[in-house]
Amino acid sequence: MFGNRKKSTVGLDIGANTVKLVKLDHTKTGYFLSGLGMREFPAEAIVSDEIRDRDAVIFNIQALIDQVDPKIKDVHVSISGHGVITDKFTIDRKAGAEAEQAIIFETEQRAPFDIDDVTIDYHISQNDEQQNTMDVLMVAARNEFLDGFIELVEECDLRPTLVDIDAFAALNAYEYNYDIDPERTTAIVNVGHDVTNICYLLDGALHSTRDVSSGVREIFNSIQKEFRLNLELSTKAIKGELGESIDQDMLKATIVSASDELISGIEQAFTYFKAQSKAPQIDWIVLSGGGALVPYLAEHIQAKLAVPIEMLNPLRSIEYDPQMYEYLQPEKIAPMLAVPIGLALRKVKKKS
């Protein structure tokens, strides 16, 4: 009787600028996009990871749910920024509960925080049988931050059944849609409004992740100032929707000069990764987030860092009916959907 009920999962990405929602139905062959929507928050409702106007945030999330599917209750969500700490270390190979104990012990020794103040998760990225070691990627979320975030989601009448971090969600979207080339050291770079999440893939596996506290906001503000535009028109300008009605050379110059901080942040992160991993170079960047859509930005990053860029299309292997989303045009904004799609694709781990 219940056998035909379709299973679906929802990814809700609460970004500093835009909240995005993706609903995926699980089909026999994969996934079908059965719901999609996004809404922009008022300008300073969220700054970095600080929620300044809680009511506006809740209002917009609820409005988005109503718009896409009022029946939605269970959502997969994600956090990023200062409330999240990641670390990578190598310890002796162990399994099961022993591994967990060893990871918590090692984290306690290394962490710049009290272990009781955080919630820890981890990922074993590499097992080296010859050396009898394993590489651990540890993720810790400050309890205060995590609890506040979960409360916010619950206040929207939703159940956060899974909490991930933005960087892993973008990676998940990439892994589902593409074959990883073990020969190429890859940086998945998700440029958001306030935070840029980076995941490094080395020898075909996740090496580490890092958040850079810089994004499109600087560029947005600078466009607003240089062109003396109101909020609405600046939003159109940054989306490339004003076309020839604004001076394109000036737009390009504004975007280029306002992206210095973002680019040097990414550059520093790359330098750190190369030193830590001993990888001679990053072979390519897979770009996602709203930043991937800002005119002239991708080509500028590519030129400044001298690393080729490819756009992440998280819908590449997901079925959808373009007529359902004529207004949103998913194919045009696809890179911005990496995090919510990665979240919706996430399987909930059953605790045994």
Q: Which amino acid is at 239?
A: K
202 vs 216 by CB, closer to ligand ATP:
216
Count of residues of this chain found to bind ligand ATP when the rule CB under 6 A is applied: 22
Question: Do residues 110 and 76 touch, judged by C-beta distance below 8 A?
Answer: no
118 vs 292 by CB, closer to Mg ion:
292
Query: From the CB of 172, what's the least distance to ligand ATP, in Å?
Result: 16
Q: Which of residues 324-343 bind ligand ATP (CB under 6 A)?
A: 333, 336
Among 15-23, 121-129, 265-273, 306-314, the segment contacting ligand ATP (CB under 6 A): 15-23
Residue 192 in the binding site for ligand ATP (CB under 6 A):
yes
Exactly one of 145, 174, 200, 220 binds ligand ATP (CB under 6 A); that residue is: 220
Residues of the shown chain interacting with Mg ion in the complex, contacts defined by CB under 5 A: 15, 192
Question: Do residues 12 and 21 touch, judged by C-beta distance below 8 A?
Answer: yes
Question: Do residues 298 and 311 touch, judged by C-beta distance below 8 A?
Answer: yes
Q: Which of residues 279-308 bind ligand ATP (CB under 6 A)?
A: 289-291, 293-294
Rounded-to-integer distance, Cα 255 and Cα 341, Å: 28
Per DSSP, what are the bridge partners of residue 19? 14, 39
Per DSSP, what are the bridge partners of residue 18? 40
Exactly one of 9, 18, 224, 313 binds ligand ATP (CB under 6 A); that residue is: 18
Among 130-138, 172-180, 236-244, 319-327, the segment contacting ligand ATP (CB under 6 A): 236-244
Residue of 120, 122, 158, 195 whose CA lies nearest to 12: 158
Query: From the CB of 195, what's the least distance to Mg ion, in Å?
Result: 7
Residue 247 Cα distances to 43, 142, 240, 243, angstroms: 25, 45, 11, 9
Largest CA distance in the chain: 64
Q: Which two tokens stand for residue 316?
A: 């590449």
Q: Which two tokens stand for residue 232?
A: 């609405």
Residue 215, contacted partner among ligand ATP, Mg ion, none, CB below 5-8 A by kind: ligand ATP
> Distance from CA of residue 56 to its chain's centroid?
22
Query: From the CB of 80, what's the least distance to ligand ATP, in Å?
Result: 7
Residue 270, contacted partner among Mg ion, ligand ATP, none, CB below 5-8 A by kind: none
Rounded-to-integer distance, Cα 196 and Cα 139, Å: 17
Question: Do residues 256 and 296 touch, judged by C-beta distance below 8 A?
Answer: yes
Q: Which two tokens stand for residue 99?
A: 């591994």
Exactly one of 9, 12, 15, 172 binds ligand ATP (CB under 6 A); that residue is: 15
Exactly one of 103, 134, 139, 193 binds ligand ATP (CB under 6 A); that residue is: 193
Q: Which two tokens stand for residue 128?
A: 């080296």
Q: Which amino acid is at 271?
A: T
Per DSSP, what are the bridge partners of residue 92? 133
15 vs 342 by CB, closer to Mg ion:
15
Residue 216 in the binding site for ligand ATP (CB under 6 A):
yes
Residue 88 Cα distances to 62, 110, 168, 318, angstroms: 37, 10, 15, 32
Residue 16 in the binding site for ligand ATP (CB under 6 A):
yes
Residue 211 in the binding site for ligand ATP (CB under 6 A):
no
Exactly one of 106, 135, 194, 218 binds ligand ATP (CB under 6 A); that residue is: 194
Query: From the CB of 215, what's the least distance to Mg ion, in Å?
Result: 8
Query: From the CB of 18, what's the least distance to ligand ATP, in Å?
Result: 4
Query: From the CB of 240, what's the least distance to ligand ATP, in Å?
Result: 6
Q: Which two tokens stand for residue 36?
A: 């999609």
Question: Which residues contact ligand ATP by CB under 6 A?
Answer: 15-18, 192-195, 215-216, 220, 235, 238-240, 289-291, 293-294, 333, 336
